[in-house]
Amino acid sequence: MPEIAAVSPLTLDVERNGDVATVKCHGKLVLGVCDVLTSKVRALIPDTKRIVLDLTDLKQMDSMGLGTIVRLYASAKTGGSCLVLVNIGPRIRQLLGITNLLSVLTDMCEQGVTIRF
């Protein structure tokens, strides 16, 4: 019987332009796939000054996804990079508000992280 390949609920497209990298997230940032985003972004940190996470096509995020975003912020800052979140949809924005991370992320903006809705 042939094996059926599992489709990941999260896919990423990376575009580089000089020292800026844009990571377009598609699907769901949930338990079981957060390491995909973490490894991709951490690999960019050493030679990228600005990392843009484009959340346009991100349909769902759970608490693991939220924790991943916060850990990536810390990794980027430690590595001398700037993490930028753009195009946060209403459902993700609502989740950030419910968990009070919207205010934390606002504080992160003041420390060099930009969030654009």
User: Which residue's entry shows tokens 């960019």?
Assistant: 44
Q: Is the pLDDT of residue 110 over 60?
A: no
Query: 73-91 pLDDT, tens per residue?
Result: 889 989 998 888 888 888 8
* Domain boundaries of the chain, sorted by first residue: 10-116
| Topology classification of domain 10-116 | Transcription Regulator spoIIAA (3.30.750)
Contacts of 14 (CB under 8 A, 6+ apart): 21, 22, 23, 24, 40, 44
Determine the Cα–Cα distance for residues 99 and 53; give it in Å rounded to an integer.
20
Helix axes 90-98, 101-110, angle to 10 degrees: 100
Query: 51-75 pLDDT, tens per residue?
Result: 999 999 999 999 899 999 989 988 9
- 0.95 exceeded by pTM: no
